[in-house]
Amino acid sequence: MEDSGKGSSIDKVKKIKIKVIGIGGGAGMIVSEIASEIKQSCFVAANTDAQALKTISKKVSCFQFGQAITNGLGTGMNPEKGREAAQNEKERIKKLCLGQDICIIVACLGGGVGSGAAPVFAKISKNLGNLTYGIFTLPFKFEGEKKMEISRDALSNAKKHLNAMTIIPNERVFQVIDKETSLKQSFSFINKNLAENLKGLIEIIYNPGLINIDFADIQTIFEGQGRLVYLNTVESSKTQTDKDLIARLLSSPLYSYKIKGAKGVLFNIAGEKNLYLADVNQISKAISELVNPEAKIIFGISQKRKPSKGIKVFLLAIGCLEKSISKSVSKSVSKSLQDLENREDGHQKKKKRKREKINFPNLVRFGTIKQKKKTAFPNSFPNPKGIWNTPKGIRKTKVSKSAMDLEDSAFPNPFVVWKRIWKRM
């Protein structure tokens, strides 16, 4: 740093380079949607199909590969063909990924190009030292088990070459659309959601804030291999409370996994100049209560670029549990929201513990509760004082000689009973 007459100058910070590569036809459409929302990054649509690349937005660069394998066509849902097409052009792919700080691989799994080539692109990017992040969609159930099997294999192959990955099953879109929504609108909803979330990630890297998050923080959070990422951005309106915002932030319907147990969390709260500390505290506490107690938590606070009332929160949670744990997560979210509501009311509600009903074993119950079960013996059969209604464990109980008589004993000896019955016969 040098000192000048007008004041000290600050060394220029290296501009972080981010490249988003959509592999296959579906991913090309996703990247086109994202490119219309984000300006700071470079977007590429990679495909073996020349016809599909003609439909890509002008804001996206096209990268055709595998002509020697596919003759400029698709792979016919053959992932092996897609893998081979990418393997044959490793040097070109290497040049495509070279010099990037973050390389985001987007693919719609289940087909041939995305499922076969995405792991190859990811491996090349990771070997170059790039932070490599995968965003994948899974096929609808109605597309068949074969496509689902292809997508599972692709995830397994790509996972070892990724720092982290986000997985969105297409099936989840049914939870947020109505029956009259067209197929095109359904896909557009998923694409716009991804665009908004990636925009949130890229904005916190490029735009400084009051409490700043930079690329070094991103690197810290993304350390590791193939971990699941929960990515969500929500904004509150004038009428919505912090409680509503937190509920939407922590429970995105597009994911089959939640932030419960996450090992690393990065979130940014953007508001107006008069952003209240109480709002920041409520949101931060709700997030921290759900994640792993030893999780790395990095947060930032910034001013919204477009002046509007309300709060905008970006959340990235990494190391989420793979299995869906909706019930336990829902309880945790509900608890956080309940605590928030109690704080807003100015008091904590007392919790009442319900007395549990204990089911004792039959043998124990017989000793404390009058037995209602009728004897299996007919009324004519000798059954003095209902002895045969007495549980076996009690009948065998040893008694004193003075208690051997049937008329005086509460626990008569069964051998004496049989002896007297035999004499009467």
Q: Are residues 106 and 69 in the same domain?
A: yes
Place 350 in a pLDDT band, splitting at 50, 70 and 90: very low
Q: How many CA atoms lie within 13 A of 249 on its CB side?
A: 32
Q: Are residues 266 and 320 in the same domain?
A: yes
Q: Are residues 274 and 405 in the same domain?
A: no
Sheet with 296-303, side-by-side order of all strands? 61-64, 42-47, 18-23, 102-108, 131-138, 164-169, 227-235, 312-318, 264-271, 296-303
Percentage of the chain beyond pLDDT 90 is 46
Domain that holds residue 33: 14-206
At 339 the pLDDT is 52
At 383 the pLDDT is 58
Give the residue among 90, 106, 123, 141 at the shortest CA–CA distance from 23. Answer: 106
Q: Are residues 345 and 378 in the same domain?
A: no
Residue 288, in any domain of the structure: yes
Residue 291, in any domain of the structure: yes
At 385 the pLDDT is 54
Last residue in a domain, options 206, 241, 274: 206
Last residue in a domain, options 302, 319, 350: 350
Q: Of 385 and 171, which is predicted with more confidence?
A: 171
Q: CA-to-CA distance for 407 and 138, rounded, in angstroms?
A: 79
Place 402 in a pLDDT band, splitting at 50, 70 and 90: very low
Q: How many CA atoms lie within 13 A of 353 on its CB side?
A: 3
CATH code, domain with 37: 3.40.50.1440
Give the residue among 37, 63, 58, 27 at the shortest CA–CA distance from 48. Answer: 63
Residue 2, in any domain of the structure: no
Q: What is the pLDDT of residues 174-214, one digit of tens each?
A: 888 888 888 888 888 888 888 889 888 988 888 888 888 88
Q: Are residues 251 and 284 in the same domain?
A: yes
Residue 167, in any domain of the structure: yes
What is the arithmetic mean of pLDDT over 318-337? Answer: 54
Question: Domain count of the chain?
Answer: 3
> What residues form DSSP beta bridges with 43?
20
Q: Are residues 139 and 199 in the same domain?
A: yes
Place 386 in a pLDDT band, splitting at 50, 70 and 90: low
- Put simply, whether the predicted model's pTM sits higher than 0.75 gets the answer no
Q: Are residues 330 and 375 in the same domain?
A: no
Q: Are residues 337 and 400 in the same domain?
A: no
Q: What six digits make up the tokens of 257?
A: 């996994």
Residue 9, in any domain of the structure: no
CATH code, domain with 281: 3.30.1330.20
Q: Are residues 166 and 312 in the same domain?
A: no
Ranges assigned E (strand) in 237-395: 264-271, 296-303, 312-318
Last residue in a domain, options 321, 350, 379: 350
Contact between 63 and 43 (Cβ < 8 Å): no
Q: Are residues 398 and 287 in the same domain?
A: no
Q: Are residues 130 and 252 in the same domain?
A: no
Residue 80, in any domain of the structure: yes
Q: Are residues 102 and 153 in the same domain?
A: yes
Residue 112, in any domain of the structure: yes
- Which residue type does 56 have? I
DSSP secondary structure code for residue 299 in this structure: E
Residue 221, in any domain of the structure: no
Is residue 410 over pLDDT 60? no
Is residue 392 over pLDDT 90? no
